[in-house]
Amino acid sequence: MDMAKPIPPRPAPVVLHDPRRLDPDEEIVHRSHLTDDELAQVVRVLDAMHRWREAERAMSEESQRYMKLGETDMRALRLLIAAQRQEAVVTPGDLATHLGVSTASVTKLLDRLEKGGHIRRRPHPTDRRRLAIEVTARTRRAARESVGRSHARRFDVVAALSAEQRAVVAGFFDDLAATADPEGERQEQ
């Protein structure tokens, strides 16, 4: 007598972006003006955006592990590397503004990056009272190998689009970014 347990059916995957499942009564997402095909296309774009966010997060985490740094440290290094490539001087105050943190937090961040051999503090070239921050050659090479190569692949994908497609995609992302602005919220009528 075979007493093997039956294999339970797999649960249905959790739907993350389909308002037909998440908001069936259209309390938040108004979609009655869309055909079924249009709605499926919208959900496909939202799903693709989710996959991109997850891929971007994974790439960012991999770069952080590769360079043994945290997210804020990586954001600081990205600015410093870009500034150096453009021969722009970055001060601790510039970093604080860019990162949206206090100058005290930047001092701790710079201490950590300097101890790890990622940056050097130098006298400012035109103002003796200030410091300029530079990325070391070793860190610049490491960033190029991790973040730089990923950016180059993304650039190639965008470059392969037609001019019209790039304009549509850029407008789409601009409109999407505006949704984060509370002033840009849809007004209830």
Each residue of 108-125: pLDDT tens digit?
999 999 999 999 999 999
DSSP state of 182: G
Per-residue model confidence (pLDDT) at position 21: 86
Residue 107 CA to residue 20 CA, distance in Å, equals: 49
Each residue of 126-149: pLDDT tens digit?
998 999 999 999 999 888 887 788
Where is 132: in which H helix or E strand?
strand 131-135
Rounded to two decimals, what is the model's pTM? 0.64
pLDDT at residue 180 greater than cutoff 50: yes
39-177 CATH: 1.10.10.10
